[in-house]
Structure 1
Amino acid sequence: MERKFLIALLFWAALVMGVAACGDDGDGNSQQNNQDTTSVTDVGGLPDDLGGIGGSDTNNTTNDTWVSPDMTGQTDVLEQTDIGEADTADTLADTSSDTITADIIPPQDVSSEDSLVITDVTEDSITPEDITTGDTATTADGGSTDTVEDAGCTDDCETVSFEDCDAGDEAWAAMVVQFLLGRKPEGLREVQVLADLVKATDRAAVARGLMNLPEFESRWAHWLMDELRVNRIGDKKHSTCYGTPKMPNDNGEIATWIRDHDPIASQTQYSFNMSDVLYSSLRLDDITPLYRAHLFAMMAKPLTGANVAALEMDITRRQDFGEIFSAVYTHRNVVCAGCHNSEWAITDNDDPELDHHWQIPGLFEKGIYGQSTGRDEMEVYSNFRHLNVVTSGSGRNPWKMDTSCGTFVQSDKIPVDPADVDAYFIYQTGKKASIWNIETALHNGVEKLRFDGLQVDPETLEIDGEEAFAYLVSARIVNQVWQEAFGYPLTLVHYFPRNSAQRDLLMQLTNQFIADGWSLKSLLTNITTHALFAQKGPEEACGTFHPYILPPVFNPWVTDPEFDYLYNNSVGDLVHRASARVLLRMVEYSLQWPAHPQYPSSSDEEFQKAVGVFVKDAEPGFLGVDFQGMLSWENRYGACKPQTKDGIDWITQLTAAVDQFNSQNATPLTLRDVIVVLKDRLITEPQVSTEAEAELLAAFFDVQSIDSPLAEVPNWASRIRNYCGLLLETPQFMLQGVPPVSGEVGPLVIVGNTSYKDLCQKLSSSVLNPDLFMVECGTDELTVTPVVQP
């Protein structure tokens, strides 16, 4: 009961304070061939205080060894995995003194004979940001983020690292299913199957395997559409270009074609729209084709207006497209750069304890704007000119995409800008600038990073503009995926980290993301196997004197010089509401209801807006909890009325399973038995934990005891739906960040094919490669045997 009170308290604190206020990043939601994941790469190691990219698998035969960071925050790592595929961040390094002068070392450039040392940047060339070497890293604020000395401890008091506070494989499995697949687990038995697969292999292998399930594609396709601000309603509604795929059986061919060709010189034989590009990029596992192609699709849906001159309307459209581009692609606002940029900021300070601006080394704004402090808005935004560029007549369809995704005047036939603006982005694009120039710059930047990584001049910190552009796009995607996992970004609203812990983690994940060929699956694996992903719940009190043992990457505002340990975060800072689309998916999957419409009708539109779903630029969604949203949620789901046309859903299957069980067993089921089945399904808690909870449930169902035979419970089938609606509003269902309180035994009643053996047979062939592993499924355990290769 104490845990439930605590989680409820955190939930309502989030309601009052507004999680979205902390998580809003300005996007409104407060996105070469794949590299072989077993190849040797230099990704740079995280500082000791941040844990390892690729995670610390509990079954590894060797401990992860992290080298203390240099001034760039990038170092090397040696990690090995016992069984299964190597983690994407597993690297091999020796201690030779050769230096490779690149900030990101691509896999093909690395050999076991080279010391993977990143070019050092002198302290004077960056804002002063010294991370000391040694066993314990020190934050910018002076507080330790690795092992925190407990205030008041005696000499023999044990120090605790957050890496010692892992919640275990079952907790990890429950959390990773929700994050990767956008649904709740089928129940405790699915959690147990996945945990057993982890024990037989490792977390990275299971995480990658879960991404083979069909739920993965739809979950992340919808997330990417929101990240790209694909409008679902209004004049900019993109329901045809981002509508039904024309090539549903594509297996990455379209994305490969776009990746390898420019949009003008090459015309493919395929007929496709942006939905095809989206799913093809996910299957290729390189999302750069999606981001390149969307530049054109974005331009196909301009602002509309009446009684306004064409040129005036176009100036407004440039402003709109330019601001969306800044938010979706670069995370750099041309105006904000005047006060916050990679060279300096008004929150910079020579004293690390007062420094609240921790940029990734490199003059990125100078690379894309020509100067660190930004540029005249219209010079940049005129690259997004619509007038005389996007046409409804004859023109070119990039890569021969569907006309709904835009038809464009060919770049060499675009007339001079009637506004007479000499545009600039990376270089002087001139008075004939257009979206063609932006796509070319992104394409070139991606290929340069793919070839030899980001090159930062060690003396001036200057960067090639096209590389700077592609790197900023990559960092933005990483930051948004991190926020989806943890509820909070690694930057403030001006898109810069506030402390070294945030900066180092963002830089490390971005470098790895690029080295892995912009693989979303590798990025997700790195995040889900990080030690921060599955921390013990607050009731387990992992810490000897205080709970503040996490690096300050979630709540970076805690700075109290009188209490050094308060420079860090606690597991309470991880608690946040699941994103709105994931909430809807969890309800729909658990109760076997139809999916919510991607392009909602007027009635469903109001509900989606109320609970925080992105529907258009002016209604960008949110991550917080508010009273209106909870009322709308209760109105829709409070009675758990079937959402199917025939009225059949998971609860009707539950009632049928109950009847079948009673007909086959001498001892009839009790109310407790049925309550446990529903709790297991919705919140992965297959038990009534306390007597107090049992008494409240008895009152709710109007019986003396929940151990009463089900036949004595009046209208139990109707009341169980009301209880379902209650559970859908609980913190245990809506919040994430801490693991559920799971039991040891699954429910007595099994609904559908959800026995341990059924789930094992369903999952094992997808999660583990049958060419590499043979899985034998029993009634409550499994055996994994590596396949002997001929």
Structure 2
Amino acid sequence: MRIQRIPSSLRPRALWAAALLAAAACNNDDTTEPPPHGSGFDGSDGTDGDGTADDTDSGPVDPTNAGDDGGEPPPPEAELCDAGNEAWVKRAIPFIQGRKPESIREVRLLVSAIEQLEEQGLPGRQLVAEGLAQGDEYLDRWRNYYYEQLKVHRRGDQRNTECYGDLTALSQDGDLAETIRGSAGDDPPAYANFTMADVTISALRLDDITPVYSADLFARMGAPVTGGNVTREEIEITNRAYYGKLFEDSYLGRTTECLQCHTTGWSTTNADDPTQDRHWPVYEGNYFELATYGDFDIDHPLEEPDVHAIFRHAGFVDYSWCNDNNQGCNPNTAAGVQAFGLDYNCGLFRTDAFEDPVISLDDVPYMSGAFPEGSAANLFDLEPRFREGLSTLASSGVDSDGAGYLDDPNVGMAFLFAMNQANEMWTEAMGYSLTVANRFPRNAAQRDTLSDLTEAFFSSNYSVRTLIAEIATHPYFNQAPPDTCGASSPYHLPAIFDPFTKTATDPQERGNGVGDMLHRYSAWVLLQSAMRSMWWDRPEQFGLTTTYAFLVPYTANNPEQPGTVQYVQPHLGYGLCGAGFFPACTDAPTNYEFMRDVGVFINPSEGGFNGVDFNGLLHWEAELAPGADPQLAGLCTGPLGQDCAPTDFAQALVDTALADDGALMWDLAVALKDRLLAEPHIANDAEIAVIEGIMEVSLDDAVADVGEAAALAAVRRYIGVLLNTPQFMLDGVVSAPQDDADDPVLVVPGTSTQELCDHFASLTAQAASWSGHTVMCSADGITVQ
């Protein structure tokens, strides 16, 4: 990786000292019930932070409980401390739309909407969350999220730009996803030649994410693991293991290696004595893993080749249309079909249970039951079970006999899927999982929260918006520091974020505090926030295609469909990269190293992360400290709901200031703090001195006297610093409420109160929950009736 040295002229002349993150005043509501016992706080039975006794804390030596010492008095009861509507809005916008608030003006608009709805006896935060869960920003944010969940490759041999990158007109409504939800992969398709990008956007519009997972089962195989100096059988073993482990991780939230010791029915960290228990599974007593994987136990563990056999690639994925015997490479000659009608770049699949004669593997697959086809079974046999399980779970819930065996094994697979989805989205919002390394909750607070979210998800027919709203309105989403509401302990929350705090020698530290919620924004949210805030180009998703460079054009297998499928975001110049005036062929997005170092999933060897490390911080600083567009070559940006901006925000802000004869450099500084942090307040003389050191001008100077070039350079230096602050990069600790007397006086065109309100009104017009409300906008604010 190349790290660019920052020229000394771009380095801050002084470190910027941000005001301490303070919290909004609490509502001092003492009627809040504490969480159930075992959540990290004392009940009446003398147990400690995660349900273990205070005077004995032994247990199996295991990575999920090692180090417990016990023997301390119980911590105090939980004392929740809501941070107020302003803090909630500042957290909700990045979570739901993957961007920072446009300014304190947008925050105040949404706070006003919440207050007006609550005055009408309605759940204001929930309705605002559902309003934000609409529009292009929402769709883009959650497509990126689900691509990360599915571990879509952005570089290397398994990068499949044509399958996962291109958008057609079929993405414009939910009909495509609804059709996939109601059909089998080998049914005659109602639509043809669409992409996984279409399916994902269509599913988000439909508000049921499950069609994405049904389709991805097949589309992923369109670009398999490849290798040299290996036999076909050896590469088949590798592919089965790869796809099988991916399914377990992304769909089920389980790993075969861990199941020997940890299932819903048993665990080496489980104990009948609650004082020794470290295993708190959701819906305990129901054998979801046995229903999904078949019979096994600690003494007779699962065999991975059998678990992964259903993901066979050889003989199932059809390459007969492009090989030594068919050099025309016309997919219309293939023996296989396009699953659900997906574009042929997402794979062609045989329906005749063909087995490659060169492959001698005879592993017998099992997934929610044995398959009559035996070793010839494939994804056309698995996907209907997945779909039927989802349908039954949504309509009837979980039914089992008295011994814990499920009435419908397909429901076991569906329940694990729903629970994993709930846990992953909670982790996206809160920064910390509701499970430990073995993929199970460690205390009752984690279990109960995960149970509630799982039920909300499957009961709503797998609604992404419902799950988002459930998390965004959860009490723990908007907690203020305890000193703002007189809590008796700084660790006033259940041990839900860090379940290992019970090892603290101070009994009060056995709960969690707001510091345990602190985390860096996930990679895509962080990148998109910076790019959208400054009106810079977003990151490129995949890079230029090379797939068509040597393939002969083909006639689509549905002559009527291509006329109705218009490409919205095609990759242009197929077969022309590296020739003439076209860019060189590439197998990765522009500056993928930056995306990688920030934590975007690139491929299994560059697997993404959420967190802060030194290398990532250095690369972030190298790209953004200049305060100028890093040229990531993706889609352009601009004001919310409007066309792409002709200049970036820095230039637009300086232009706005120059058009105001009385504008000071102070006004520019306030506007930048507001834009990037939604905190326009400049605290004191010390902060003024630091800002002046960064901008290299007095804040009392008139912008006109400083001049356009010097003012723009000063603005870019300050942008570079603000983008590197904890306030911009971190989430979990709420910011201080802002006095409207400090609101910026400079308003860049496209960001006025009227325009921001009009945009939000356009979102509520798409939300079913707002159908009975009227939203009216003016230069003064929002009115909700």
TM-score after normalising by structure 2 = 0.78
SS of the aligned residue for 1:661 comes to coil
CA distance in 2, matches of 1:761, 1:160: 44
1:587 counterpart (530, 548, 551) = 530
The answer as to 2:405 corresponding to 1:406 is no
Judge conservation of contact 2:21–2:733 (CA < 8 Å) in 1. no
CA-CA distance at 1:775 after TM superposition: 3.1
Q: Which residue identity does 2:51 align to in structure 1?
A: A
Of 729, 732, 750, which residue of structure 2 is paired with 1:734?
A: 729
CA separation in 2, counterparts of 1:571 and 1:188? 23
Whether 1:690 and 2:687 are equivalent positions in the alignment is no
Q: How far 1:759 moved relative to its partner?
A: 1.9
Correspondence for 1:610: 597
Match of 1:459 in 2: 403
Cα distance in 2 between the residues matched to 1:487 and 1:615: 20
Matched residue, 2:157: 235
**One-letter amino acid matched to 2:703:** L
1:525 aligns with 2:469: yes
The reply on whether 1:631 has 2:631 as its aligned counterpart is no
Residue matched to 1:783: 783
Pairing 1:83-94 to 2, within 5 Å after superposition: none
Tell me which amino acid in the other structure corresponds to 1:774.
T
Closer/same/farther in 2, CA of residues 659 and 712 from structure 1, 3 Å limit: closer
Alignment of 1:718-729 (within 5 A): 718-729=713-724
**Which residue of structure 2 lines up, in the alignment, with residue 382 of structure 1?**
309
- Does the CA contact (< 8 Å) of 1:251 and 1:284 recur in 2? yes
Give the counterpart letter for 1:167 in structure 2.
A
2:370 alignment partner, SS class: strand
Q: Does 1:555 align with 2:550?
A: no
1:560 deviation in Å? 4.0
Compared with structure 1, are the counterparts of its residues 68 and 709 closer, same or farther at alpha carbon in structure 2 (3 Å cutoff)?
Answer: closer
Give the stretch that moved more between structures: 201-210 or 772-781. Answer: 772-781
Which residue matches 1:418? 360
8 A contact 1:141–1:567 mirrored in 2: no
Amino acid in the other structure paired with 1:580: A
Kindly indicate whether the alpha-carbon contact (under 8 Å) linking 2:171 and 2:198 is maintained by their aligned counterparts in 1: no
Within 5 Å, give how 1:118-133 maps onto structure 2: none
In structure 2, do the counterparts of structure 1 residues 489 and 138 end up closer, same or farther at CA, with 3 Å as the change threshold? closer
After superposition, the Cα gap between the structure-2 partners of 1:67 and 1:723, relative to the gap in structure 1 and judged at 3 Å, is closer
Matched, 1:395 2:336: yes
1:449 and 2:406 aligned: no
What is the aligned length? Answer: 658
1:759 equivalent among 753, 756, 778 = 756
Per the TM alignment, residue 567 of structure 1 is displaced from its structure 2 partner at its CA by 2.6
Amino acid at match of 1:384: F
One-letter amino acid of the structure 1 residue matched with residue 251 of structure 2: Y
CA distance in 2, matches of 1:472, 1:332: 8
Q: Which residue of 1 is the match for residue 675 of structure 2?
A: 681
Q: Please point out which of 244, 261, 279 is paired with 2:166.
A: 244
Which residue identity is paired with 1:710?
A: V
Name the residue aligned to 1:318: 240
| 2:699 corresponds to 1:706 | yes
Inter-partner Cα distance in structure 1 for 2:37 and 2:295: 28
- Residue type of the partner of 1:367? A
Shift of 1:270: 4.0
Q: 1:221-261: per-residue Cα shift (whole Å, max 9, x none)? A: 11101101111110000211112122345311111111111
CA shift for structure 1 position 669: 2.2
Answer yes or no: is the 8 Å Cα contact 1:343–1:372 preserved in 2. no
1:757/1:777 contact within 8 Å kept: yes
Provide the C-alpha distance between the structure 2 equivalents of 1:69 and 1:326, rounded to a whole number of angstroms.
Answer: 31
Q: What is the CA-CA distance between 1:701 and the residue it aligns to? A: 3.0
Which 10-residue stretch deviates more, 686-695 or 714-723? 714-723
Question: 2:89 & 2:656 partners in 1: Cα distance?
Answer: 26
Q: Matches of 2:130 and 2:525 in 1, distance apart? A: 20
Return the offset for 1:320.
1.3
Deviation at 1:323, TM superposition (A): 1.2
- Deviation track 1:426-452 (CA, whole Å, cap 9, x = no partner) reads 222322122223212211211221231
Report what 1:774 is aligned to. 774
Where does 1:36-75 land on structure 2 (aligned, <5 Å)? none
Partner of 1:184: 100
Structure 2 equivalent of residue 19 of structure 1: none
The separation in 2 between residues aligned to 1:711 and 1:743, in whole angstroms, is: 28
Alpha-carbon contact 1:177-1:185 (below 8 Å) kept: yes
Q: Residue 190 of structure 1: CA displacement?
A: 0.2
CA distance change for structure 1 residues 422 and 782 in 2, over 3 Å: closer, same or farther? closer
Change (3 A) 1:593 1:197: same
* AA at the equivalent of 2:306: E
1:321-336 map, 5 Å:
321-336=243-258
In structure 2, relative to structure 1, the CA distance for the partners of 1:385 and 1:160 (3 Å cut) is closer
Alignment partner, residue 649 of structure 1: 648
SS state of the match for residue 774, structure 2?
strand
- Counterpart code for 1:773: H
Q: Deviations over 1:541-582 (max 9, x none)?
A: 444332211111111111148644333110111110001111
- Aligned-residue CA RMSD in angstroms? 3.2
Q: Is the 8 A contact 2:658 2:704 kept in 1?
A: no
> 1:665 aligns to what?
none
| Residue 288 of structure 1, CA deviation | 1.0
2:726, 2:489 → 1: CA distance?
Answer: 24
- My pick for the range that moved more, 464-473 or 436-445, is 436-445
What per-residue deviation string (whole Å, max 9, x for no partner) do you get for residues 403-447 of structure 1?
111111105445686212222222223221222232122112112
Deviation at 1:303, TM superposition (A): 0.7
Counterparts of 2:646 and 2:161, CA distance in 1: 29
SS at match of 1:748: coil
Distance apart, 1:391 and its partner CA: 0.9
Asked whether the 8 Å contact 2:41–2:78 carries over to 1, the reply is: no
The answer as to whether partners of 1:671 and 1:706 remain within 8 angstroms in 2 is yes
Identical pairs, percent: 34
Aligned partner of 1:533: which letter?
F
